[in-house]
A and B are shown apart, each in its own frame.
Chain A
Amino acid sequence: LAKTTQPISMDSYEGQEVNITCSHNNIATNDYITWYQQFPSQGPRFIIQGYKTKVTNEVASLFIPADRKSSTLSLPRVSLSDTAVYYCLVQRDTGRRALTFGSGTRLQVQP
C-alpha cells in the first residue's frame, strides 16, 4: 500500500477552517483514501472516505486532485472539541482488510 505523509501537528483557533494535507504518491488504481479521528483515550473514529474529486459529509470535506497523489481533509469552523489526532490512510478495495495507520496529525484548537 502507498505510504502516507502528513504534518505531525497543526494549530488553529476556534471558528477557523482547518485543512490537513496528506501525500500518498504511490497510490494505486483500486486504493481509496480514508480519514480517521482519535481523541485521547478513545479508539479512532471514521470521518470520511473518498476516491477522487470531492466528498462531503456532515463532519468534513475531502478533496482529492485528479492525480490522487495527495488529499486534503477540510474541517469547517473548528471548535475546541475538534482537538484530536487525524489519520490519513490508504485502503485497497480488494485483499487485505487491516488498516495501516501512520503517526497522524495532532490538531490543537485554541480559543
Chain B
Amino acid sequence: DTGVSQDPRHKITKRGQNVTFRCDPISEHNRLYWYRQTLGQGPEFLTYFQNEAQLEKSRLLSDRFSAERPKGSFSTLEIQRTEQGDSAMYLCASSVTGERATDTQYFGPGTRLTVL
C-alpha cells in the first residue's frame, strides 16, 4: 500500500453514461497525476496538478474528460458520454516537490473501467 487510494476499484457502465473516479493522494504530496493503462501497455499520462492548478493535459484527454483538484488534496476524474474505447485502468499517482523534476511518483491501485 503506497498511501494513494482510489475509489471505486472497479466500475462497469453502459456506453453513453458518465462516470467519476476519485483519488486521494498521500497527504503531504502537492503533485497529483492521472494516467490511463490499457491491457499489455504501459501507463499513459493524462493530466497533472500542482496543488489545485492543472498544469498539463495530454492530447489523450479529450473534451469528454475533465479532472479537478479543488482544494489541492483529493482529485476527481470525470468521463462524460463514455465510449467502449474508454475501457482501461485509470491510475492516480502523487509526489512531493523536490529539488529536481525526477521526484518519485507513488501510484494508487487504479480504477478499472469497463464500458459495455
Contacts and interface: CB of A to CB of B under 8 A. Distances in A.
Nearest to B4: A43
Interface string B61-97: 0000000000000000000000000000001110100
Interface residues of B, number: 31
Contact of B104 (A42, A46, A100): A46
Contacts of B95: 97
- Please name the 9 residue pairs, one residue from A and one from B, whose CB atoms are nearest each other, closest first: A43-B107, A101-B42, A98-B45, A93-B100, A91-B102, A46-B104, A32-B102, A43-B91, A101-B43
7 contacts: A32-B100, A32-B102, A45-B2, A45-B107, A46-B105, A97-B55, A98-B45
Interface of B: 2, 4, 31, 33, 35, 40-45, 48, 55-56, 58, 91-93, 95, 100-110, 112
